[in-house]
Amino acid sequence: MVSLDCRVNRSHVRAGRKDVVFVSADAKAEGPMREAGTLNVCLAIDCSGSMVGKKFEMAKKAALLIANSLRPTDHISVITFAGKAKVAVPRQQVGDRREVKGKIEKIGLGPKTIIFGARTNLYDGIRLGYEELASVARLYTARLILLTDGEPTTGPTSERAFVELSEKLGDRGVSVAALGVGKKYNEDLLIAIAEASRGKWHHVVDLDQLPELFKLELLDMKTVVVVKPELHVHMLAGAELSNVYRVGTMVTEVTDYQKTDNEYVMLLEDIKAESASKLVFKIHVPPRPRGKWKISKLTLVAPSVKITQDVVVQSTSDSSLWGAEADPYPRTLLTLAQATVVVKEAIGDPTRVRQAQDLIETMMRDPAAATEIRKDPSLMSIGNTVTRVADTVVRGKLTKEDKKKLKLQATVIR
């Protein structure tokens, strides 16, 4: 069973004048967790020359662990990429897994790759993964687990190209878990890939952790209850929406929503057991005379799911009513999300990070917001994380490795 919890920070707005309210929408799975349906996993593994040694050894070990952990009815495929990408294991049911494991065992870097260096066609690695997953993604929980240690050097290399491809994956219900190994890969590119598909980014600090990270992704897939949920936001004529943030595994500013007339369509993260997939945003309310107004209708849409809630406010001339905040949660969540995104994008830029510190400090001086944070563990986790990362950035010089670690803390919410 899935529920939609919509909250608005103010129940009253000023009559005859423009006003702003903060709205949150939490989609949750309720009731006992059911056994996961068929899983569809594609591994896209960097086999360029720079992966030689322990990186490649642990990548194969992680791939074999996935093959061992999947059920016989689950699906697996493996893509390898260096200067070119190829399908090493076409999508198939795991079955008795000996055939799959045998194909994984045979994967190698190849002598030409080692001789001519680390050419990396990352784009085609993802593209082939998309082709393996797209036909069945709407039927099964699907994930592309991407592993690389470098930047793309051949094929499309612009972030825009990767975002567009990752959005195609997300539109089909496929999330990308983007794992970066070592110091030379482009973490901003992997973050963009993960965000565009509503997936997750990992910075692999310890190679021995690689199999465990693969396994955690698999376990995470088993908690998915609803794939590709959408929030349709139908607005009152003249009302506008802004400052949209998705808060789930990652905190992301949403700019890729679709808008037609007065309706916005935004994608949420997959809905998982024992966690909420959240969106929070501002609604700019147009001037309206005194009375009750339905400023928005929010509808959660997914396979076999359609839940609607109205956002209603009272327009009044009584300043004691429109000046009060009935529920500080949406405003608090949006401020924390905004601060998190600023810190994530500004690692290494203390001046910008101080903007995030100012946001947090101003909010904590607000008794209502501070109380909301103290009583909500998820808000407390975000607030503590962004504060700790911001303080570290402002205090001193950072190495490239420091920046990756801090960016991971500010990106993936534990």
Q: What is the CATH number of the domain that holds 46?
A: 3.40.50.410
Count of the separate structural domains present in the chain = 3
Out of 196, 222, 248, a domain closes at 222
Task: Tell me, yes or no, whether 157 and 130 share the same domain.
Answer: yes
Task: Tell me, yes or no, whether 132 and 239 share the same domain.
Answer: no
Out of 163, 190, 222, a domain closes at 222
Out of 303, 327, 351, a domain closes at 327
Task: Tell me, yes or no, whether 49 and 141 share the same domain.
Answer: yes
Task: Tell me, yes or no, whether 48 and 120 share the same domain.
Answer: yes
DSSP letter for each residue of 374-404: HH-HHHHHHHHHHHHHHHHHHHS---HHHHH
> With 80 as the cut, is the pLDDT of residue 139 above it?
no
Task: Tell me, yes or no, whether 15 and 126 share the same domain.
Answer: no
Q: Which residues pair with 40 in a beta bridge?
A: 75, 142
CA–CA gap between residue 113 and residue 82 (Å, rounded)? 7
pLDDT tens digits, one per residue of 252-303: 999 988 999 899 999 999 999 878 899 999 999 999 999 999 999 999 998 8
pLDDT tens digits, one per residue of 169-197: 998 889 999 999 988 899 999 999 999 99
Task: Tell me, yes or no, whether 145 and 200 share the same domain.
Answer: yes
Task: Tell me, yes or no, whether 313 and 343 share the same domain.
Answer: no
Pairing label, strands 258-260, 291-302: unpaired
> With 70 as the cut, is the pLDDT of residue 67 above it?
yes
Average pLDDT in the 306-324 region? 93
The domain that holds 251 is classified in CATH as 2.60.40.3670
CA atoms lying within 13 Å on the CB side of residue 39: 25
> Please, which pLDDT band fits residue 137 given cuts at 50, 70 and 90?
low
Task: Tell me, yes or no, whether 217 and 283 share the same domain.
Answer: no
Phi, psi (rounded to 5 degrees) for 224: -70, 125
pLDDT tens digits, one per residue of 25-45: 999 988 766 777 889 999 999
Task: Tell me, yes or no, whether 116 and 205 share the same domain.
Answer: yes
> Please, which pLDDT band fits residue 359 given cuts at 50, 70 and 90?
confident
Task: Tell me, yes or no, whether 96 and 218 share the same domain.
Answer: yes
Task: Tell me, yes or no, whether 69 and 84 share the same domain.
Answer: yes
Task: Tell me, yes or no, whether 64 and 194 share the same domain.
Answer: yes
Percent of the chain scoring above 90 in pLDDT: 68
The domain of 231 spans 2-33+225-327
